[in-house]
C-alpha cells in the first residue's frame, strides 16, 4: 500500500481519524479532512505523518457542499498524482421526533451523510478507472440496515448509503474497483457523545440509563465498538485479500443486526 493515496472524509476525530492513522501506518499517503481548517487540523495531519513516516496532508472541504466535495478529490489528485482509496466517513446526527425534526437539520444530515458520498465518489471513479484499481468504502451504520426512533434523517441517509454502495459496486465491478460499506454499531465517538443529551431528552432518561437501555440495548455484547476495530476493517477492505468483496456491507455491531 506504500504507493497508494487515500482520502478519508471527516477524519480529524472519531472513526475517520482512526482510519487515517491505520492507513498511514500501512504506508499510504493520506488526506485528512474536515470543514474547519484550523491550526489543530493541520497539526493532526503533521502528527500522523511524523508518527508513520508517510505523507499526510490536511485539506479543508465542507462536505455539505457538492462543489467542495468534488474539489477535495481534485486537489488530492493534484497533490499526490492519484486517488486510489476513498473513505466516505463524514457525518452528523440529530435526534428528534419526526414531527419536531427541524427541516434544516434534515437537509444538513442528508447532504453530509449521503450526498457528499455521491459527489466524492463521482469525482474519484474516473481516476480509479484510469489507474485500473480503486477502493471506495462508505461508513454506513447499523442504522443503514435497521431503524430506531427519533432518527428519521440519519436512518434515511444511512439506508441510502447502503443502496448507493451496491449500485456503484455493480457499475465498477470490471474496472478493478470495489465499493463496500462498513456498518458499525454504537461507537463511542464525539458524534455519539453529542447525541447523548438529545437521547436523554427524547427518552426522559439520565445518561447512564440512555447508554444502557437505549444505545446498547440492541448491541448484544453490551460494549461499544472501538474506532480501532472499524479502522482494522477498513484496512482489510482495501487490501488485496478483499479484492472479491464488492457491493456488500460488513457489520461491526456486536451482533445488533443478527436478530
C-alpha cell at 174: 470490471
Choosing from 154, 164, 186, 256, which is the catalytic residue?
154
Among this protein's residues, is 154 annotated catalytic?
yes
Q: How far apart are CA 124 and CA 109, in angstroms?
A: 22
Residue closest to 90 by CA, chosen among 27, 6, 13, 203: 13
Torsion of CA 26, 164, 75, 60, to 10 degrees: -90
C-alpha cell at 131: 489507474
Centroid of chain to Cα 91: 7
Task: State the burial class of residue 138 (Cβ atoms within 10 Å of its Cβ: 0-12, 13-18, 19+).
Answer: buried
Pairing of strands 85-88, 249-252: unpaired
Residue 195 CA neighbour count, 13 Å, CB half:
20
Centroid of chain to Cα 182: 8
C-alpha cell at 21: 492513522
Q: Are 94 and 109 in contact (CB under 8 A)?
A: yes
Q: Where are the beta strands (DSSP E) in the chain?
A: 5-8, 29-34, 56-60, 85-88, 134-139, 177-184, 249-252
**Catalytic residue positions, numbered:** 154
Amino acid at each position: 500500500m506504500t504507493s497508494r493515496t487515500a482520502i478519508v472524509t471527516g477524519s480529524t476525530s472519531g472513526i475517520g481519524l482512526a482510519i487515517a492513522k491505520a492507513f498511514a501506518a500501512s504506508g499510504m499517503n493520506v488526506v485528512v479532512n474536515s470543514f474547519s481548517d484550523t491550526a489543530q487540523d493541520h497539526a493532526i495531519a503533521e502528527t500522523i505523518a511524523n508518527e508513520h513516516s508517510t505523507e499526510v496532508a490536511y485539506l479543508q472541504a465542507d462536505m455539505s457542499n457538492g462543489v467542495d466535495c468534488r474539489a477535495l478529490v481534485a486537489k488530492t489528485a493534484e497533490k499526490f498524482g492519484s486517488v486510489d482509496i476513498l473513505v466516505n466517513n463524514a457525518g452528523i446526527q440529530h435526534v428528534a421526533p419526526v414531527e419536531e425534526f427541524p427541516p434544516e437539520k434534515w437537509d444538513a444530515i442528508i447532504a453530509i451523510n449521503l450526498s457528499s458520498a455521491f459527489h466524492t465518489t463521482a469525482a474519484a471513479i474516473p481516476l480509479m478507472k484510469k489507474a485500473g484499481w480503486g477502493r471506495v468504502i462508505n461508513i454506513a451504520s447499523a442504522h443503514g440496515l435497521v431503524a430506531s426512533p427519533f432518527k428519521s434523517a440519519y436512518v434515511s441517509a444511512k439506508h441510502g448509503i447502503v443502496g448507493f454502495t451496491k449500485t456503484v459496486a455493480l457499475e465498477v465491478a470490471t474496472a478493478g474497483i470495489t465499493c463496500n460499506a462498513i456498518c458499525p454499531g454504537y461507537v463511542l465517538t464525539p458524534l455519539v457523545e453529542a447525541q447523548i443529551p438529545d437521547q436523554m431528552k427524547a427518552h426522559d432518561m439520565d445518561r447512564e440509563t440512555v447508554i444502557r437501555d437505549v444505545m446498547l440495548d440492541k448491541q448484544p455484547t453490551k460494549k461499544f465498538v472501538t474506532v480501532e476495530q472499524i479502522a482494522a476493517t477498513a484496512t482489510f477492505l482495501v487490501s488485496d485479500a478483499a479484492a472479491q468483496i464488492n457491493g456488500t456491507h460488513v457489520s461491526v455491531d456486536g451482533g445488533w443486526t443478527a436478530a
